């Protein structure tokens, strides 16, 4: 065997001439391969285990059309939108969160405010106040700043107190104020300024004076520095309960005796009252005058 | 089903016999693809023994495995495209995959798939010895030798089935035959 070299060509030749019966120098291997290649025949009566005709055709796959995917997409879009708007509103109100969200929330709130304010002023018909309010809009965390100035003009102490309450309780208000009040306040703030002059017309000269603080607050904004500058006197008179007052516009009016006239205007958040503000003041003036005379 | 199969096979027996005599396997494959039971039966008769022998390398019960293979062939023959040469490679590919699946199952269950002499009752004793020798070869060599010798496939067809190049198949065939020849000369090798 060692004498015969079994090369690759010879192995291929051996396989190629396997069935021809040609002799090979590797006879033992050739006979073994012949045995392997020779297979017994099947009896003619034998049949295959299955025939193509007996194979049932597979049921064609019907594409599955379900409304669920579309419904899921719509639902997910709605949920994501609600979540995004909610988170933006929360960021705008609380001022807590990434700066991008807070800024976006501020801008969104400003936009909403502008739209609502525009609608409100269409009702009131007072354009000058609307401009002022829009100017004060950027300061959403200090939403009360747009509300408070109107009573502030009545007494400086009160105004300082309110500004102090703003500055002191800025953080607290950001954290403690509920979303509902903070979301409602911007709407109210748009509606109150038209009322404020009407309320303050108790003393006619107050009207111009009352607008000044507004303008200052609007231009400067309710930043803590500004409020601190005007604050020092009032800090002494501040009570811890004023945190609650801050969230509500009406308690600001409490210290003044004129506030007795104001409760009638507390529900003034309703724009329906506004057009009739000036005439409604007239009945109150005699009482004030009477009181002053007395 | 048996009667139907017998009738259909009997009706076209003459024509199919003529085809087999002429070795017109291309025509047989074409008819089988179009649903001819007789053509399919003739193909089965021609390839079944070779396939059983080929599968005997993988399992102790090659007939059962071969039946499964033919069921798969019958169910999917309508989707086959090609001539008789391609059909030959196709059915051996199915057989190889079935054997691989079976070996995998038995490997999981821990069953030994080695052949013993009793499994070859009915075969020539020399044939049993040869098969035993082939079984001792490395799996790669043995499979390629069986495909080329028993399946009568050339190197290119085997290369497609086992996923190797033609040159690689030739080299593996040569190494397997050389090792088998040494075993035959040495009287069965280690055994």
Are B170 and A52 an interchain contact pair (Cβ–Cβ within 8 Å)?
Answer: no
Is residue A150 within 8 Å of A214, Cβ to Cβ?
yes
What's the pLDDT score for residue A57?
63
Interatomic CA distance for residues B155 and B172, integer angstroms = 10
A41 touches chain B (CB under 8 A): yes
Q: Which whole number is the average pLDDT over B2-19? A: 46
Least CB-CB distance to A52: which of B78, B152, B185?
A: B78
A2, A11, A60, best to mutate vs chain B, most B CBs in 10 Å: A11
Interatomic CA distance for residues A32 and B184, integer angstroms = 9
Are B173 and A53 an interchain contact pair (Cβ–Cβ within 8 Å)?
Answer: no
Is residue A235 within 8 Å of A164, Cβ to Cβ?
yes
Give me the residues of A, 146-205, that contact B with CB < 8 A: none
Distances (CA, A) of A188 to A18, A132, A162, A185, B142: 103, 14, 17, 5, 91
Q: Which residues contact A189 (CB under 8 A, 6 or more apart)?
A: A133, A136, A143, A144, A146, A147
> What pLDDT band is residue B117 in, cutting at 50, 70 and 90?
very low
Q: Which residues contact B70 (CB under 8 A, 6 or more apart)?
A: A48, A49, A50, B44, B48
Interatomic CA distance for residues A166 and A172, integer angstroms = 10
Is residue B147 within 8 Å of B116, Cβ to Cβ?
no
What is the residue-level pLDDT of chain A in tens, covering all 294 positions?
445 678 888 888 888 888 777 777 788 888 889 888 888 888 888 888 888 888 776 555 555 556 567 788 888 899 998 988 888 778 777 777 777 777 877 887 788 888 877 665 555 544 444 444 444 444 444 444 444 444 444 444 444 444 444 444 444 444 444 444 445 455 555 555 544 444 444 444 444 444 444 444 444 444 444 444 444 444 444 444 444 444 444 444 444 444 444 444 444 444 444 544 454 445 554 444 444 444
A9, A52, A57, best to mutate vs chain B, most B CBs in 10 Å: A52
Point out the least confidently predicted range of A24-33, B6-15, B20-29, B110-119: B6-15
Chain A and chain B share a number of CB contacts under 8 A equal to: 116
Q: Retrieve residue A218's tokens.
A: 């609007």
Least CB-CB distance to B170: which of A12, A36, A50?
A: A12
What's the pLDDT score for residue B174?
94
What's the pLDDT score for residue B19?
52
Are B35 and A42 an interchain contact pair (Cβ–Cβ within 8 Å)?
Answer: no
DSSP code for B116: -
What's the pLDDT score for residue A26?
84
Q: How many residues does chain B have?
A: 191
What's the pLDDT score for residue A88?
78
The CB density around residue A103, as the number of other CB atoms within 10 Å, is 13
Are A8 and B35 an interchain contact pair (Cβ–Cβ within 8 Å)?
Answer: no
Q: Which residues contact B119 (CB under 8 A, 6 or more apart)?
A: B56, B60
What's the pLDDT score for residue A46?
85
Name the pTM for this structure. 0.47
What's the pLDDT score for residue B52?
92
Q: Retrieve residue B22's tokens.
A: 């002429």
Q: Give residue for tokens 């719509």.
A: A74
Cα dihedral B70, B72, B77, B80, rounded to 10, equals -120
Is residue B62 within 8 Å of B52, Cβ to Cβ?
yes
What's the pLDDT score for residue B120?
44
The CB density around residue A53, as the number of other CB atoms within 10 Å, is 14
Are A7 and B174 an interchain contact pair (Cβ–Cβ within 8 Å)?
Answer: yes
Interatomic CA distance for residues B142 and B174, integer angstroms = 11
How close A2 comes to chain B (CA, Å)? 10
Contacts of A52 in chain B (CB under 8 A): 32, 35-37, 40, 74, 77-78
Give the percent of chain B with pLDDT over 90: 44
A55 touches chain B (CB under 8 A): yes
What's the pLDDT score for residue B112?
57
What's the pLDDT score for residue B108?
79
Interatomic CA distance for residues A163 and A159, integer angstroms = 6
Asked whether the CA dihedral A199, A203, A208, A211 is positive or negative, the reply is: negative
């Amino acid at each position: 065997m060692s004498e015969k070299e079994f090369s690759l060509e010879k192995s291929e030749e051996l396989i190629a001439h396997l069935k021809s019966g040609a002799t090979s120098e590797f006879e033992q291997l050739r006979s073994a391969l012949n045995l392997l290649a020779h297979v017994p025949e099947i009896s003619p009566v034998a049949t295959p285990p299955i025939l193509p005709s007996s194979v049932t055709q597979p049921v064609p796959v019907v594409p599955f059309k379900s409304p669920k995917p579309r419904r899921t997409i719509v639902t997910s879009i709605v949920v994501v939108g609600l979540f995004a708007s909610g988170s933006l509103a929360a960021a705008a109100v609380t001022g807590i969160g990434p700066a991008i969200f807070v800024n976006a929330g501020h801008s969104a709130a400003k936009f909403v405010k502008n739209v609502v304010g525009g609608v409100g002023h269409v009702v009131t018909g007072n354009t000058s106040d609307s401009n002022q309010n829009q100017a004060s809009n950027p300061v959403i965390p200090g939403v009360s700043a747009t509300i408070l100035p109107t009573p502030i003009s009545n007494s400086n102490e009160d105004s300082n107190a309110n500004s102090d309450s703003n500055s002191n309780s800025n953080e607290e208000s950001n954290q403690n104020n509920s979303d509902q009040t903070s979301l409602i306040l911007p709407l109210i703030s748009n509606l109150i300024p038209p009322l404020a002059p009407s309320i303050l017309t108790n003393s006619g000269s107050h009207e111009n004076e009352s607008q000044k603080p507004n303008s200052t607050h609007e231009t400067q904004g309710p930043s803590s520095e500004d409020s601190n500058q005007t604050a020092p006197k009032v800090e002494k008179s501040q009570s811890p309960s004023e945190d609650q007052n801050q969230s509500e516009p009406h308690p600001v009016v409490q210290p003044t005796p004129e506030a007795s006239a104001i409760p009638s205007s507390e529900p003034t958040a309703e724009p329906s009252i506004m057009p009739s503000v000036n005439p409604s003041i007239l009945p109150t003036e005699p009482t004030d005058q009477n009181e002053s005379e007395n | 089903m048996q009667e139907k199969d017998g009738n259909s096979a009997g009706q076209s027996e003459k024509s199919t016999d003529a085809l087999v005599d002429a070795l017109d396997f291309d025509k047989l494959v074409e008819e089988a693809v179009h649903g001819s039971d007789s053509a399919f039966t003739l193909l089965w008769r021609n390839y079944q023994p070779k396939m059983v022998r080929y599968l005997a390398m993988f399992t102790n019960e090659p007939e059962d495995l071969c039946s499964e293979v033919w069921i798969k062939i019958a169910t999917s023959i309508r989707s086959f495209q090609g001539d008789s040469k391609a059909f030959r490679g196709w059915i051996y590919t199915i057989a190889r995959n079935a054997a691989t699946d079976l070996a995998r199952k038995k490997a999981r269950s821990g069953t030994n798939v080695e052949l013993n002499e009793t499994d070859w009752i009915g075969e020539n004793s020399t044939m049993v010895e040869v098969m035993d020798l082939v079984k001792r070869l490395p799996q790669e060599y043995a499979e390629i030798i069986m495909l080329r010798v028993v399946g009568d496939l050339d190197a290119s067809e085997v290369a497609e089935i086992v996923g190797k190049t033609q040159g690689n198949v030739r080299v593996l065939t040569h190494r397997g035959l050389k090792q088998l020849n040494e075993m035959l000369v040495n009287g069965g090798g280690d055994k």
